[in-house]
Amino acid sequence: MQQNMRQAQVRSQMQQSQVEQQNQQALSQNVSRPYANNPQMQQQTNQANASQQRIDEARQQSIIDRYNAAPPPSGQVVVPVTPPAAKPAGG
């Protein structure tokens, strides 16, 4: 049950991140329209958009990484599998 809650939280965070990304893209498009005939401004806008996209991707990856790094929900025991110790040769 706790894992379901964690998964729901991650989904919610990812959806929120996607909404923020869509809002940022819409804002960027609106800001760049007046400069459609200005190549220098278009280049700067494109660079800013690329930077923002990298930030968004890093934010989403961080959400996933935090989920994967979190300890398992209580009540679940994780037993690490270790290979048996090698026996000495001739023994």
Instruction: State residue 75's pLDDT score.
Output: 59
Say if pTM beats, i.e. exceeds, 0.75.
no
Are 84 and 17 spatial neighbours (Cβ–Cβ below 8 Å)?
no
Q: Over 90: is that where the pLDDT of 32 sits?
A: no
Percent of all residues in the chain with a pLDDT value above 90, rounded to a whole number? 37
For residue 11, which of 65, 73, 64, 59 has the smallest C-alpha distance? 64
Residue 91 CA: distances (Å) to CA of 4, 29, 82: 50, 74, 22
Distance CA 30, CA 12 (A): 27
Mean pLDDT of 75-85: 58
Residue with tokens 């220098």: 40
Distance CA 83, CA 60 (A): 35
